[in-house]
Structure formats: structure tokens, C-alpha cells
Structure 1
């Protein structure tokens, strides 16, 4: 080991290249947040390796760089609470600005030295004799591979920060490989290919397609949009943030904090709209869709019918866009709602009719229900993750998995949101995982051992509870399919069943009775009375209402006026 600090505070060096206290898989938002939480632990945990298969950090915000790529959560809310950015240029951030933000955060907190780029995890195996994970990796960067194409890292704890929007999902359409033109998945965009005057088809019409389409119609010769099912669409109301506002957010932080709280409050209220399709908020969203559609496509009744969903709002991701509907007013755009029969060498056959294309864009999403694909994971007693999840992904609080000791994950099963910023969930998960890691490495640093595995009965009870809640939600609507649930059994494996504040409170402490604890220090928890560890949470919802603030301001103003009058009276008496 290098440096003069005690382990695990010392950084991983050349001599211990294949050993670390913690291995984090992924250098996106989750990986960066987890590393910061560990570095800020008490005492700090610096003995970290971050494995990133790409050649740069950013995760989904590095992979997705298609035209129009942006976030559907306000910029001031789609950022870390501990590293708020006063200089966002738009109300909704674009991909490039988000990536620049993540790069700056990684630089500020000195994350870069921890990352091994171009390094793909192949397998993970729990070694019960050493209480460690053996993480086998393959080096994909050609230069670094010259030093060794494969090696295994021994680590006390593994954190998965690979996320859900990671591996592109290719559509199961006959003949896709036969197409002689250009094929691009939205997450693998080729900016070297010119769209000018090309005849283009896009398969998919979800959130990604709704961002791509308004951008490329300005350049392509023609565009056919293959729609399987329509989506609920509501106004975005995006706008630039002026320089004076950015200055205000920077130099008067309480204004920025209040803005973020307002956003948090509103998006939490949005929860009813996406989970209860009979709520007033849900009906308001449906009405908003119709008003927007009919105003932007005035007199186009034939399109209204095709563009209005037959399922309740919230079952699928609600799309936020100001410029999707207007594309159908263009002469070079055609909406195709027929079924795709196959793809030929020259184009797409739909309901028996073949149309030739230069380019086919696949806006078909990701392999979301296959968490951590394609890594092979073998845990306690030789049990594989594939076996544990044969009925679908599930985890205790979406973080820890049955039969997988000393393992935590972010953005795992049932932690996705349909109403608020996922970063609010990720921060809570990072703090929770850091709390468990601290106990594991503390035991190791003192010459002992500790393994932490969620109790199978606790995992089952928790998941039965949230699945029951989810089956009563809009996500379970039988009239639509979505990436929120499995096709084989309908189990909703992606979404959280409650709101963000509920989740943050749930993860504000570690209840050690949730876990099977083994190792030389396990008795301290099992018999020693250490029942829980308090972590706390970042409270960002409004503490004080605007009404209360108004009364306070008026009260202070009255006091101030009274003081001025009293002082002026004294002056006159003198």
C-alpha cells in the first residue's frame, strides 16, 4: 500500500493493484455519489476502485448523446443536494451540460484517480473462506490491455452503480440484421453520419424518440415514425435561465435552496398523478395532453385519435415536450401505426407494404429488467444472482440482495421513479451503503471480519408489501406494456411504490435486525445491543410554507416600521 495513512484511508497503489476495500462498478451519477459518500465517511474510506467499462465517466449521460438529449426533471433538482449548481443555463438541462456538471463534481471531490476506465466486470464470486469478493475484469482499452488483459480484484465490499439505463435493447424484429442501410440505436448515436436529405424511419415513440424527432425533422428528407402505442404528453415550458438569475442563485443561496424545495414539493405532489389514475392530478394531466394536442394540431381529428392513449396516465412514462406534436404539421413527417412485419435489406414492411429507407433509428430503450447484465454473479453457498432473480429482480429497499453478502446496489429493483428526481433516491442509497461499508472495513482494519446479508424472509416480506401496493397503482394497468415490468409474469420490478420522502426516511437508519451478520465481530450486533445505526437524511421539501413566510415577512416589516417610528419619536423628543 502507498501513503502514510492507515488502511482503509490509504489509496490503492501499484503494489495492491488487485486489492481494495471497496469496488464500485460504474462511474455515472450513482458511482460518483457513492465514492463521495465513502470519502466523507468518518473515518474516510479512500481504498476504493471504480471500474468503468467506458473510456470516460458520466454513465447514461455519456452514452446517450443523441440529438435533443435532455432530462425531464428540472436542472436545479437533477443535481446533488451537496453540490448544487447555480449556473444551469436552462430550466431543463441538456445532456452536454449534465455531463459537464458530473465532470466538474468528479474533479472537485478528486474522484478521477479512483477510476479505471476501459475495464469491464466479467464475473463476481463470493469467497466464503476469506469473506471477500473476487471480481474478475477484462481490460477493453487496447493500450491498458498491453499491461494485462484480465485480472481479479479481491475486495471486502462491492457496490453496483451500473444503473438501469445501461445496455441498449435491440427490438426483436425479423430481418433487422439484413438491412443494408444505416442502423443506429439512440444510445449509440453516430454523429459522423449525415442526416441531410436522408429517408429515415424511427422505431419507438417514447421519451427518447420525442426528444430526437423534433431535432432531426429539420434536416432529414423524410421521417416515418413507427408508433406502437401513443404516450401521454404534457407541456415542458422549458426556457433559458438569465444571467441575473444565475447570479442571484450564486450569491444569494437561500433563493436557490427555495427554488429547489419548490421543485421538490411539486414533483412529490406529482406522485398521485402517476400512481393513482383516478386522482384529480391524473385527470388534470390527461386534460393537459388533450389541450396541448388539439391546440398544436388544430383540426387534425384523424391524428388526435392516433395520438391519444387508451390506458390511464402513469402506466408508462409521461412525456414532457413542447415540440413533439408540431412535427406532425410538417410535410416530411408521417405517422405509421401499423404493425411491423419484418425488416428487409432495403426497408421496413408494415402490414404487407414495404417502404425503403436510408436510416433506421432504434429508440427502443434498454434491457432494464435484467439488472447488472451481462455480469455473472455467484454469492453465498454458490447461489447465482440469476437463480435468486428467476422470478424477477428484488432487493431489500432496492439496495441489498438475498445470498449476496457485502454487496449493495444503487438504482436497483423497485427504486425507479415516475414523478421525481432519481438523484434524490441515489443520495439516500449511497449514504445507506456507506454506513454498511464502514462497519465491514472497520472490522477488517481491526483484524476481524464481518459479512452482511439481508435476511431472506425480510426481503420477501418487504417485496410482498411493495408489490401489493404497485398492483393497485397505474403501473399495473393491463392496457399497456412498459419497461417498468416483466413481460412473462407482469411483475413490476422497476418502480418504487411510494414517494421520495418515504424512501429517504426508510433509509435514514440501518436496522441491523434486517441482516444475517457473520464474522468475528458479528456478536457486537447480534448480542451486543447494537440494534441500529442512525444515518439521517437530507430534508429538501419545504420546511416553511409561502403563507407562513408571508406572515413572517409582514411581521418583521411591522416590527421594523414600529422601531423606525419609535426611534424617530425619540429623535424629535431630543
Structure 2
């Protein structure tokens, strides 16, 4: 099939259906980025992407509820190497993001590498072979007829399942007793007709704030069950006119500059979510309060219920222009009492039962478990559940102790509260691909290599990160969030510094951070450090400098034109 093409360049075919150089779990933004880097940076096509759903897109395929959109500007929410000049709005909607991702997948021919409807059940490292054995189950009915389960052997394993993957059901008695319609926001049933229905929504976070304004216009009645209020700031979304889109397309430096400005602005938010006493935090708190009072004038009763009493940034800040006005509608009621239980007919709140046709669960995801429910077993039979018994942690959020030749994207302590996660994902992909290169090279040369982070280094790094996070707004005891372990309060999800700090941290692979084994271990260790570099997207030139440069170039152009005109006259 591959002719004389070297092994890593030959795509997996029928005969080697259960063998690959690299297995990637997940076909969302992270998995796609890793695959593209495998092709571009490592000239490797001997990989498989395993996707449990029927299409790519990850969270942007799973979450298709009414009003679903991104809270990061569209021009910043894209790969740096595949910027989209044709976004139709300043903030992209779910369908447009999914369309963008599908276009990228088509450009890089990623579909040929993806096995859809294929769920990973377990992955086990073989110490003797120095390979991963990943067992999958086939979800598609027809595909399962060829074989409902099988195991893939690979030299490297990448987790690209993300943090917003498995829906979390609320810990409320009686959830299974409800006889009406019940659905989680990440499993929205568009075949269900909302018109004229009496609906309750449990949750009031970022997802609920997008759903509520949309369904309030359709239903006969909507009760919003709020546990804790959220900080809400203006969104200021607007369509992008065609003339602007043409500028972004034909003058790419303008698009790059806009993206840089957006990155700079969002990086500035870091101070707000990390230091509640900062000027940025105080500004955002004032902005949020003014937003609340302006959109709900003369309603101190609602102000009291909707005004948070914790540091801004402790929970995800909501960016919305249409959330607060919903509470002025006659068919909407805000309920802040504790839910006692769910019955066959409805919800009991502080002893009072109310019947509903539909209950929407906007209760988020099982975030702190990361790779749940996949059963991972590493070197010497150590399970991931035992490694992470006190909460997830990883070296630079990418590699995990006792898991050789393994990398993860959007792992522990790499989530952001202030900027685009894609900026982090691209950095992680480049770092992981640098590790993969050494493993592939070793095998290509007939040798072997196992790379796993030194446990002492992992602990030192995480102690440092946790020490920083303990001083952040994320650690505010006055709120709970999906950023931390409920029992211990350990912040397992968020990064403590800026995106640029993270990019610089991962711009090199320091081989002293790793325990290396195999026949190629000494060769890799001698390198000491491999430089990767980073994509510099923040502004490096001020507008003043740009303006002076433009004027200088214009002056030179005018001078040249005048000299040329003078010569013509002399002739």
C-alpha cells in the first residue's frame, strides 16, 4: 500500500487495522490540532483518531442547544494557522464554529484518519513491548457487525477528550422519577416542541444564560432555579458586514492585527480573575453592577438575588446582553430556594411542589475527573484513578507520571478564565508532537523509547501552581465552581498565569524533566533540551509606530514618484 514510503508516513490500512504509531482519543479542536501537527511537523500519517460520536467537532458538536455560542471573539477562537476571515458575527455561534472545524478537517483530509462511533473503554501500557493497548467498543449498529470491540496497539497515546465532555447530572433525589421530558443541555432534543410548555431549568451558569433568553420566547412559563448568582458583563455582539470580511480576507495583516488586539485585551483580564483587588477586577465589578441596574431598572428585589457576593472570576464570568432582561417577562420566574427533590410531576422547592412538562439540566460536566470513564493503566500496573486519587495533576498539564509515551491536551490546570483556550491547545500540541517525534524516530531506527515525567518534577511543578492558585479568585470559599474538587477545594482545572507565560513555558522540552528508557534513551538525553518555539500573536508594534512607519513609507513613495516625474519632464 505504501510502496517505498517510510513507515510513519503510511496511513493505517486494512491489514494493520489494529496497529498505529499514534492513537488520538477525541476529534474535537484538540484532537484535530494534534493530528494536523503530526502531518505538518512530523510528516506522520500513521495515526488513528478515535471519536465516540458520529461526527467531529467535540464540544461544538455535542452542545447544540438554543442560543449556543462562544464567549470568546470569533477571530480569536480559531487556529492561528487557519484563521477564518469570513466569520459572520463578532461572537461565533455553535453552528458556524462547527462548520469552520469541518472545513479545516476537509482541508487537511482528517476524515480518513477518524473512526467514528468508536468509544475508548480502556488503555493499558505494556512495559515489555513499550506500547499502549487501547480497547474500543464500536457504537454504530452496522459497524459493530464487523466487530463490536477490538484493541489497538500504538507507540504513543494522546488524550484529546477535553474537560467539557461527560454531562454531569445534578445530585438531586428523584431525577429518574420524573415522567415528563428531561434533557441535559449537552444532549438537546430538537425534536421536542417547546411551544406552550411549562418548563424549569436547573442551573444559571454560562450555558443556562444562553438557553434562557431563547426558550423564554417559546414556552408558556419558565422557572429558573438559581443556586448562586453570576457576574454578568455586556457582550456587545454584532454582525460583521461583508466589506469588513473582505478586508480580513484580502488584507490578512489587518486580520492578524485585530486578533493581536483581541489577545492583548483578553490577556489583560488575567488580573481580574487572579487578583480581586486589581483595578481590572474593580472595573469589571462596577461594569457588571451597572449592567444589572441598567437592564433591570427600579428592581432592587432582583438586584439582591442576581448580585454575586464572591470575587469576580471565582466562577466563569457570563458575557451576555439578553440574560437580565428575561426576568422582566411575565412568563419567567426566578427561584432561589433549595430544591428538595424531583417527583414524577415536577420539582419540590422548600416544601412546595410545582408541575412541569420539561426539566432542562444546565448542570455542566464532570470536569475534575478529566478522562472519565476511560480506564487508564500505566507503567507497573498503576491506574490513573490511583495516581489522581487526590485530584488531577500533570507536568505542565500535558504529561502524567507513570504514563509513558502519553500526552493530553486541555488537561489539569490548563483551563482559562480570561482568554481563548485554543491558544493553549496549539501550544500543547506542539509540545506533545516533539515528544512523539523522538518515539517515532526510535522505532524507525529499530529501537525503542519510553518517555514519562519524573514524579518529583511533577510534584514540584504542581506545588508551585497550587501555591499561586490559592491566592486567586478561583479559591474564594464563597463560591463553588467546576474549577475545583468539591471535597478538598483543590483547583485542578485552571491555569494560574497568562497565556503568553504558558506558551513560553512550553517553548522548549527539557529532557531532564523526564525519565527515559529504551535503547534510544541515552541519545535523547544527550540533547538536554529541544527548542520548539511559539507562535507570537500578541501585539509587538504599537499603533503609533505603525502610523509613523506608514507615513514614512508614504513619504518615500511620494519622493520616488516626484523624482520619476521630474526625470520624465527633463526628457
TM-score by length of 1: 0.98
Conservation of the 8 A alpha-carbon contact between 2:438 and 2:524: no
Aligned residue for 1:83, secondary structure, equals coil
Measured in 1, the distance between the counterparts of 2:531 and 2:423 equals 18
The correspondence of residues 252-291 of structure 1 with structure 2, limited to 5 A, is 252-291=251-290
Conservation of the 8 A alpha-carbon contact between 1:3 and 1:11: no
Measured in 1, the distance between the counterparts of 2:52 and 2:568 equals 75
Give a deviation string over 1:154-195, Cα, whole Å, max 9, x none: 100000000000000000001111111110100000000000
The correspondence of residues 47-446 of structure 1 with structure 2, limited to 5 A, is 47-446=46-445
The correspondence of residues 444-455 of structure 1 with structure 2, limited to 5 A, is 444-455=443-454
> CA shift at 1:563, angstroms?
5.2
Q: Which residue of 1 aligns with 2:523?
A: 524
> CA shift at 1:80, angstroms?
0.3
> CA shift at 1:551, angstroms?
2.3
Measured in 2, the distance between the counterparts of 1:565 and 1:312 equals 62
Give a deviation string over 1:387-438, Cα, whole Å, max 9, x none: 0000000000000000000000000000000000000000010111111001
The correspondence of residues 459-538 of structure 1 with structure 2, limited to 5 A, is 459-526=458-525, 529-538=526-535
Give a deviation string over 1:47-75, Cα, whole Å, max 9, x none: 00100000111100000000000000000
> CA shift at 1:523, angstroms?
1.1
Aligned residue for 1:268, secondary structure, equals helix
Q: Which residue of 2 aligns with 1:15?
A: 15
Q: Which residue of 2 aligns with 1:551?
A: 548
Conservation of the 8 A alpha-carbon contact between 1:2 and 1:13: no
Aligned residue for 1:23, secondary structure, equals strand
Conservation of the 8 A alpha-carbon contact between 2:22 and 2:154: yes
Give a deviation string over 1:320-371, Cα, whole Å, max 9, x none: 0000001011100000011111111111111111111110000000000011
Aligned residue for 2:41, secondary structure, equals coil
Conservation of the 8 A alpha-carbon contact between 1:4 and 1:10: no
Measured in 1, the distance between the counterparts of 2:460 and 2:370 equals 21
> CA shift at 1:558, angstroms?
4.0
Measured in 2, the distance between the counterparts of 1:22 and 1:141 equals 23
> CA shift at 1:566, angstroms?
6.1
Q: Which residue of 2 aligns with 1:26?
A: 26
The question of 1:41 aligning with 2:41 is answered yes
Structure 1 pair 569–304 and aligned structure 2 pair: CA distance change class (3 A): same
Give a deviation string over 1:494-540, Cα, whole Å, max 9, x none: 000000001111111111110000000111133xx211111111110
Give a deviation string over 1:524-573, Cα, whole Å, max 9, x none: 133xx211111111110011011211222233344445556666677788
Conservation of the 8 A alpha-carbon contact between 2:87 and 2:245: yes
Measured in 1, the distance between the counterparts of 2:48 and 2:354 equals 50
> CA shift at 1:41, angstroms?
2.1
Give a deviation string over 1:286-321, Cα, whole Å, max 9, x none: 111111111111111110111100001010000000
Measured in 1, the distance between the counterparts of 2:181 and 2:24 equals 36
Measured in 1, the distance between the counterparts of 2:3 and 2:340 equals 63
Q: Which residue of 2 aligns with 1:539?
A: 536
Aligned residue for 1:41, secondary structure, equals helix
Measured in 1, the distance between the counterparts of 2:105 and 2:565 equals 56
Conservation of the 8 A alpha-carbon contact between 2:415 and 2:494: yes
Aligned residue for 1:274, secondary structure, equals helix
Conservation of the 8 A alpha-carbon contact between 1:9 and 1:46: yes
Measured in 2, the distance between the counterparts of 1:559 and 1:136 equals 66
TM-score by length of 2: 0.98
Q: How many residue pairs end up in the alignment?
A: 571
Measured in 1, the distance between the counterparts of 2:236 and 2:545 equals 28
Measured in 1, the distance between the counterparts of 2:496 and 2:513 equals 20
> CA shift at 1:3, angstroms?
4.5
Measured in 1, the distance between the counterparts of 2:280 and 2:555 equals 39
Measured in 1, the distance between the counterparts of 2:384 and 2:119 equals 18
Aligned residue for 2:104, secondary structure, equals helix
Conservation of the 8 A alpha-carbon contact between 2:202 and 2:360: yes
**RMSD of aligned C-alpha atoms?**
1.3
Measured in 1, the distance between the counterparts of 2:544 and 2:332 equals 49
Aligned residue for 2:81, secondary structure, equals helix
Aligned residue for 2:9, secondary structure, equals coil
Measured in 1, the distance between the counterparts of 2:451 and 2:570 equals 76
Measured in 2, the distance between the counterparts of 1:468 and 1:8 equals 42
Give a deviation string over 1:429-479, Cα, whole Å, max 9, x none: 011111100100110111100000000000000000010000011100011
Measured in 2, the distance between the counterparts of 1:35 and 1:5 equals 19
